[in-house]
Amino acid sequence: MSLLDILTKDVIAVPLKVQNKNEAIRELIDLLYSNGQITDKDEVYDAIMTREDKGSTGLEKGIAVPHAKTAAATKLTAAIGISPEGIEFGSLDGSPSKLIFLVLAPPASSGAHIALLSEIARLSQYQSLCEELVEAESAEKVLSILQGEE
Amino acid sequence: MSDIIRSILVYIDGTEQSVVAAHYAVCLAKTLNTELSALFVVNTQALGTLVKSRIFLQDEEAEYRRDLNADAERYLKHVQTIGQAKGVDIKLLNKSGSVSGEIKKCVKENDIDLLIIGELSRIKSRRDQFYDETERAMRSVSCSVLMVKDDERVWSMYDNLL
């Protein structure tokens, strides 16, 4: 199952309305909740923050991948948030995160969860693609870029 | 035993498509009276990549590895049950490493002459086609490959198998 199998324009925030890490995570969780992808916002937030407390998922080059296994996710799901200005995420290289992939999976979906995170890890290697995503002006454009049609 | 196909390998990855493929493989093995093996690969290569890219911490890697090992046992046991219900013995192969690499190795080591895989998901982006491990295996194995489609027909075929 690929990122494009689970993403819809309704779970892509372009741009994120907020300016800090915790609020950005909350905003993406709200999107997933509004779209029926999760059953409990607080449970998901706690799961994500428990993981973040062990070490930030802010990677290099402005990408962050907050993720968690939680029973509040009814199936493997993801949301994307874009912040052209960047959000302080405690990343490895100190750069603010502009592209945030939030990934959630039910406890029994480890295989699919790993496959999806691996896909995001590969995507993050394409700098020009990531730059295009950060410059996208709409959720539809984000999907189109991911489909490779741009 | 069939002279054309003597040894079949079905690849199981925990997806619905691979379970359908297992049912088809049991039907084919029973009909042709051939040996049947089922392989599950714990994708430790992907786990390693996630640690390297810093998406996973070491303790997460260990936790997910345990989950995947449990999945491997569960799905292989399920496949064994599918075979037993129709009187087909299945050799269970539980490996870890790179999916395509382990499939290729198992085909060679077990002298497999037909690999059966589940239906591949539709390619939704140009990048997808470069990264599907099962597709990579399909392209690189030395034996013939059969991709199972039409799950309704397979369920019916399996149910009607004596």
- Report all structural domains of chain A as residue ranges with CATH numbers, in order of start: 3-146 (3.40.930.10)
Hey, which residues does B148 pair with through a beta bridge? B118
Sign of torsion, CA A138 A139 A145 A149?
negative
> Given this model, what pLDDT does residue A150 score?
42
Burial call A26-58: b when 16+ CB within 10 Å, e when fewer: bbbbebbeeeebbeeeebbbebbeebbeeebbb
CB contact set of B133 (below 8 Å; sequence gap of 6+)? B43, B98, B99, B100
Residue A148: its H or E element: none
* Tokens read off for A121: 């890890």
Reply yes or no on whether the pLDDT at A71 is more than 70: yes
The residues of A annotated with a catalytic role in the active site are 67
> Given this model, what pLDDT does residue B121 score?
77
| ipTM here | 0.89
A149 SS3 class? coil
> pLDDT tens digits, residue range A111-148?
999 999 999 998 998 899 999 999 999 999 999 999 88
A102 SS3 class? strand
Taking Cα atoms as reference points, which of A129, A140, A143, A53 lies closest to residue A98? A129
pLDDT bin (cut points 50, 70, 90) of residue A80 is very high
Chain A from 68 to 97: CB within 8 A of any B CB: 92
Sign of torsion, CA A14 A20 A25 A31?
negative
pLDDT bin (cut points 50, 70, 90) of residue A1 is confident
Side chain identity, residue A102? L
Q: Kindly determine whether residue B124 and residue A2, on different chains, have CB atoms separated by under 8 Å.
A: yes
> Given this model, what pLDDT does residue B90 score?
98
Find tokens 């991911």 and name the residue: A146
- Give B31→chain A minimum CA distance, Å: 32
Side chain identity, residue B128? D
Under a CB-based contact definition with an 8 Å cutoff, are residues B58 and B6 in contact? no
Q: How far apart are CA A73 and CA A32, in angstroms?
A: 9
More confident of the two residues A5 and A34:
A34
A36 SS3 class? coil
> Given this model, what pLDDT does residue A134 score?
96
- Judge whether B68 is closer than 8 Å to chain A, CB to CB: yes
> Given this model, what pLDDT does residue A141 score?
96
DSSP codes of every residue in B56-86 = S-HHHHHHHHHHHHHHHHHHHHHHHHHHHTT
Give chain A's mean pLDDT: 94
Under a CB-based contact definition with an 8 Å cutoff, are residues B3 and B56 in contact? no
Q: How far apart are CA B10 and CA A88, in angstroms?
A: 47
* Tokens read off for B145: 């490959």
The gap between the terminal CA atoms of chain B, to the nearest Å, is 17
Q: How far apart are CA A3 and CA A136, in angstroms?
A: 17
> Given this model, what pLDDT does residue B142 score?
94
Count the Cβ atoms, other than its own, within 10 Å of residue B6: 15
Tens digit of pLDDT at every position of chain B (162 positions)? 778 899 999 999 999 999 999 999 999 999 999 999 999 999 999 999 999 999 999 999 999 999 999 999 999 999 999 999 999 999 999 999 999 999 999 999 999 999 999 998 776 666 665 567 888 888 899 999 999 999 999 999 999 998
Q: Which residue of A has its CA nearest to B67?
A: A110
Closest Cβ–Cβ partner in B68, B124, B125 for A110: B68
